[in-house]
C-alpha cells in the first residue's frame, strides 16, 4: 500500500519519502507472501460488492501501471479458471450464486470440458465444467516490489529502510526516535499500525511454492472444495504458488501440517504431475483486517491512514492510493467511494 501510495502521490506532484522498519527485501511484509491475484469477481464469493467495484476500477489502473513498469514485471490479464471435481460440482453453483448476489454475475462464463481443455491444455480431459472469468489477472509480488521500488527511486522518491516510525501527531513522526515534521503523513503500516488502531486484527494466510517443469498453466486456476478452496498461480521459472488458507489466528508461526496437507493434496488432485514437484517455500503471514473486512481510509487533518486491505491488498492498492491522492487534492472523498473514508471532524 505504501509503495502504491508513493506511486500516485509522486505522480500528482508531491515529494515522497518512505520510512520502512524492515529491510529492502520486504520479506517480513504481508505483501511479500501474497498470491497477487487481481480477482474482482472471484473474490465476491467471500466479500461484498464494494470490493468488486473498487477492484474493477483498480484493474484499469493496473493495466497502466504494468505498462509503465515494463515487460520485466510478471503481470498478466489472462483471466481465471474456476473448477471443481465432479463430486464437488454443487460448489460451482454455490460459487456462482454468491458472486451473482454480490453483483458480479456478468463476469463469469460457464465453460464446458472442451473449453477448459482449450484454455488449459495441461488439464485436458480432467474437468467437465467450470467458469472462465475473463476480466481478472495476477501480478507476482516478488517481481512487483523491487521493480516498483526502482521505478519510484527514478521518480525521486527516497527510501529509508530499517527505520522505525511512530505517529506523534497529524504532522509529526518519530523517526528512529527523533521527531520530524511533514506536510502530509500517509500511514500504511498494515498490522504495524495496531498500536494506534486497536480494532485491526491479523488473519493468517499460508502458501506453498512448488516447482515443476511438467505442468504449465496460462492463468490462475481456482479449485472449489467444500472445506478448503485453493488457487494455483503459475509463476515464471516453472514455479507455482498454491494458496491460501484463511485462519482467524494471529500467530504468524509458519505452515501447519494440516494446512500443508490440504494445499498440497488439492494441487495433486488438480494434476498428478504436481506430485513430483519440488517444494520450494512454505510461508505465512497475517492479513491486516478491520472487523468489517473492508478497507478504510481514515483522515485526521494531514494524517491519512490506508489500512484493512485484508485479502485484497494487491487488487485494491492502486484504487485506494488514487482515492487518497484525490482526497489530498480536493479535501473531499469521492462520491463513489465515500463509504471507505472516515474523516475526523
Ligand X SMILES: Cc1cc2nc3c(=O)[nH]c(=O)nc-3n(C[C@H](O)[C@H](O)[C@H](O)COP(=O)(O)OP(=O)(O)OC[C@H]3O[C@@H](n4cnc5c(N)ncnc54)[C@H](O)[C@@H]3O)c2cc1C
Residues that bind ligand X (CB under 6 A): 1-2, 19-22, 26, 28-31, 33-37, 164-166, 188-190, 192, 205, 207, 243-244, 285, 287-288, 307, 309-315
C-alpha cell belonging to residue 322: 488514487
Q: How far is the CB of 222 from ligand X (least distance, A)?
A: 11
Is 43 or 91 the residue whose CB approaches ligand X more closely?
43
- Within 8 A by CB and 6+ apart from 221, the residues are 80, 81, 82, 83, 120, 123, 231, 232, 270
CA 87 from centre of chain = 30
Is 76 or 307 the residue whose CB approaches ligand X more closely?
307
CA 27 from centre of chain = 15
Is 21 or 126 the residue whose CB approaches ligand X more closely?
21
Is 189 or 271 the residue whose CB approaches ligand X more closely?
189
Q: How far is the CB of 199 from ligand X (least distance, A)?
A: 15
Q: How far is the CB of 112 from ligand X (least distance, A)?
A: 27
Is 102 or 118 the residue whose CB approaches ligand X more closely?
102
Q: How far is the CB of 167 from ligand X (least distance, A)?
A: 9
Length of the chain: 345
Phi and psi, residue 39, nearest 5°? -130, 75
Is 227 or 345 the residue whose CB approaches ligand X more closely?
227
Q: Choose among 187, 199, 153, 213: nearest CA to 19.
A: 187
Is 1 or 102 the residue whose CB approaches ligand X more closely?
1
By the 8 A CB rule, do 41 and 183 touch? no
- Within 8 A by CB and 6+ apart from 181, the residues are 171, 172
What whole-number distance in Å separates Cα of residue 93 and Cα of residue 98? 9
What whole-number distance in Å separates Cα of residue 307 and Cα of residue 133? 28
CA 335 from centre of chain = 25
By the 8 A CB rule, do 157 and 254 touch? no
Q: How far is the CB of 114 from ligand X (least distance, A)?
A: 29
Q: How far is the CB of 105 from ligand X (least distance, A)?
A: 21
Q: How far is the CB of 73 from ligand X (least distance, A)?
A: 16
Amino acid at each position: 500500500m505504501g509503495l502504491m501510495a508513493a506511486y500516485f502521490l509522486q505522480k500528482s506532484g508531491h515529494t515522497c519519502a518512505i520510512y520502512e522498519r524492515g529491510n529492502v527485501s520486504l520479506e517480513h511484509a504481508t505483501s511479500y507472501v501474497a498470491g497477487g491475484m487481481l480477482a474482482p469477481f472471484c473474490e465476491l464469493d467471500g466479500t461484498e460488492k464494494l470490493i468488486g467495484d473498487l477492484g474493477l476500477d483498480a484493474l484499469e489502473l493496473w493495466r497502466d501501471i504494468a505498462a509503465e513498469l515494463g515487460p520485466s514485471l510478471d503481470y498478466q490479464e489472462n483471466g481465471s479458471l474456476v473448477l471443481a471435481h465432479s463430486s464437488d460440482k454443487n460448489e460451482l453453483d454455490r460459487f456462482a450464486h454468491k458472486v451473482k448476489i454480490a453483483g458480479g454475475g456478468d463476469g463469469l462464463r460457464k465453460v464446458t470440458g472442451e473449453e477448459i481443455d482449450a484454455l488449459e491444455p495441461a488439464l485436458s480431459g480432467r474437468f467437465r465444467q467450470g467458469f472462465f472469468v475473463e476480466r481478472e489477472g495476477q501480478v507476482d509480488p516478488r517481481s512487483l516490489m523491487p521493480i516498483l521500488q526502482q521505478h519510484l527511486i527514478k521518480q525521486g522518491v527516497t527510501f529509508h529502510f530499517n527505520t522505525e516510525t511512530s505517529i506523534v501527531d497529524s504532522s509529526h513522526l518519530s523517526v528512529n526516535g527523533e521527531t520530524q515534521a511533514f506536510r502530509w503523513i500517509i500511514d500504511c503500516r498494515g498490522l504495524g499500525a495496531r498500536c494506534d488502531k486497536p480494532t485491526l486484527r491479523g488473519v493468517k494466510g499460508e502458501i506453498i511454492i512448488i516447482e515443476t517443469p511438467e505442468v504449465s498453466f496460462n492463468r490462475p486456476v481456482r479449485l472449489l472444495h467444500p472445506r478448503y478452496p485453493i488457487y494455483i498461480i503459475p509463476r515464471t521459472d516453472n514455479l507455482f504458488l498454491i494458496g491460501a488458507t484463511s485462519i482467524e489466528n494471529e500467530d504468524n508461526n509458519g505452515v501447519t501440517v494440516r494446512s500443508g496437507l490440504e494445499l498440497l493434496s488439492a494441487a495433486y488432485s488438480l494434476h498428478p504431475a504436481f506430485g513430483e514437484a519440488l517444494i520450494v517455500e512454505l510461508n505465512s503471514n497475517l492479513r491486516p483486517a478491520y472487523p468489517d473486512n473492508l478497507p478504510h481510509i481514515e483522515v485526521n487533518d494531514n494524517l491519512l491512514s490506508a489500512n484493512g486491505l485484508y485479502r485484497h491488498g494487491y487488487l485494491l492498492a492502486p484504487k485506494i492510493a488514487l482515492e487518497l491522492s484525490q482526497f489530498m487534492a480536493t479535501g473531499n472523498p469521492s462520491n463513489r467511494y465515500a463509504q471507505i473514508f472516515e474523516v475526523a471532524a
